[in-house]
Amino acid sequence: MGRTIATFRQLIEQELSNWERVFGRALRREERAHLEAMFNRVRLYSQACTYEFPVNAMDAINVAIALDHEMRLRAIEALLGINLDAQWMASRSLPRARGNDAVGDPE
């Protein structure tokens, strides 16, 4: 007897193929490589995605990508010896631009 539903790895390949066919054509070559690398890292979490097996495969793929980015960001923070959470949660206001902001309204 054969499988009646695709494995999650097959769903990852299908989604990558769909994204490359439409979205990928608008990207530069080096950007396409990053898109493929991002989907390749999802395979590291295929067991968790299979366990969840959502109705829409992109939901699990997006969570896997976000989790991977979060873990990699924390590793970079640790290497640099910084804690962005502490800076984010600080109650001080953000510094104001001094007139060299090309996007901001002129004062």
pLDDT digits (tens, 9 = 90+) for 34-53: 988 998 898 888 888 888 76
Q: Give CA–CA dist 36/25, Å, rounded.
A: 13
What spatial distance separates the first Cα and last Cα of the chain, rounded to whole Å? 72
Mean pLDDT, residues 84-97? 65
Counting every residue, how long is the chain? 107
Which helix H or strand E contains 14, and what residues bound it?
Answer: helix 8-22
| Structure token digits, residue 105 | 């309204």
* Amino acid at site 62: N
Put simply, whether the predicted model's pTM sits higher than 0.85 gets the answer no
Q: So what's the pLDDT on residue 86?
A: 74
